[in-house]
């Protein structure tokens, strides 16, 4: 029961943080019913866009870390269940700092090589000092996103508990359940919402575990196995 409760809170953490952040993708469906190697899964409906702003990326990172943040807030301990979430946000943070020029310390510089020639190089296109700065900024960016998630969950702990409890009781929840608990999102949603009866399982999307979200819907799954004590999404 303890593991199932941990999974429920993990998924509820993702859903709660994403619901409270303007640029995070809203929930379509979440389940804690095991399927194959997945112990739990959630589907989100991302807004279609050609470019992404810094604010949008930071909100997505905080939502991806909502599962681990929920574990810490509720149980006072964390598990291996956030592996894919951590992988996702780490790669995203490194891309923001070293590829997209979205970091003030590094500036408007990109070390991305679209020609593919860098794979034939014996060294990095920047100094060791710059490498240290990149590492520092990535760590700071991820930690700030994590603290945002924790703060949101603490401020809405009652709703987090209600969502996790309902998920434990019903095992499958939809957007309508979040509306009942949180109320409608205060942010304008620019995308269609799937009805409760929609077959969201058939929607394509990138799977990530709740060690563990473009498609019509994004899926996050939590894989089972010795390396996972308790995923989301998969997101995340």
Q: What are the catalytic residues?
A: 11
Burial of 215 (C-beta count, 10 Å sphere; 0-12/13-18/19+) = middle
Main-chain dihedrals φ then ψ at residue 221, nearest 5 degrees: -130, 150
Per DSSP, helices labelled H in the chain are 2-20, 54-64, 66-75, 83-98, 128-155, 157-170, 175-182
Q: Radius of gyration over alpha carbons of the chain, in Å?
A: 18
């Amino acid at each position: 029961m303890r593991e199932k409760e941990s999974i429920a809170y993990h998924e509820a953490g993702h859903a709660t943080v994403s619901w409270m952040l303007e640029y995070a993708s809203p929930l379509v469906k979440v389940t804690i019913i095991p399927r194959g190697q997945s112990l739990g899964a959630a589907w989100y409906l991302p807004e279609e866009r050609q470019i992404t702003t810094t604010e949008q990326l930071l909100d997505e990172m905080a939502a991806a870390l909502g599962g681990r943040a929920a574990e810490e807030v509720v149980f006072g301990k964390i598990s291996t269940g956030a592996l894919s979430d951590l992988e996702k946000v780490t790669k995203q943070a490194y891309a923001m700092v070293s590829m997209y020029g979205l970091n003030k310390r590094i500036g408007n510089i990109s070390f991305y090589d679209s020609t593919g020639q860098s794979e034939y190089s014996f060294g990095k296109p920047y100094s060791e000092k710059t490498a240290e700065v990149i590492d520092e900024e990535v760590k700071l960016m991820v930690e700030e996103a994590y603290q945002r998630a924790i703060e949101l969950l603490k401020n809405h702990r009652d709703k987090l508990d209600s969502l996790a409890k309902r998920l434990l009781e019903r095992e499958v929840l939809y957007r309508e359940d979040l509306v009942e608990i949180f109320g409608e999102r205060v942010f304008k949603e620019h995308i269609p919402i799937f009805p409760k009866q929609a077959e969201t399982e058939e929607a394509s999307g990138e799977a990530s575990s709740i060690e563990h979200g473009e498609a019509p819907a994004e899926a996050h799954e939590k894989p089972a196995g010795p390396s996972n004590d308790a995923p989301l999404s998969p997101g995340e």
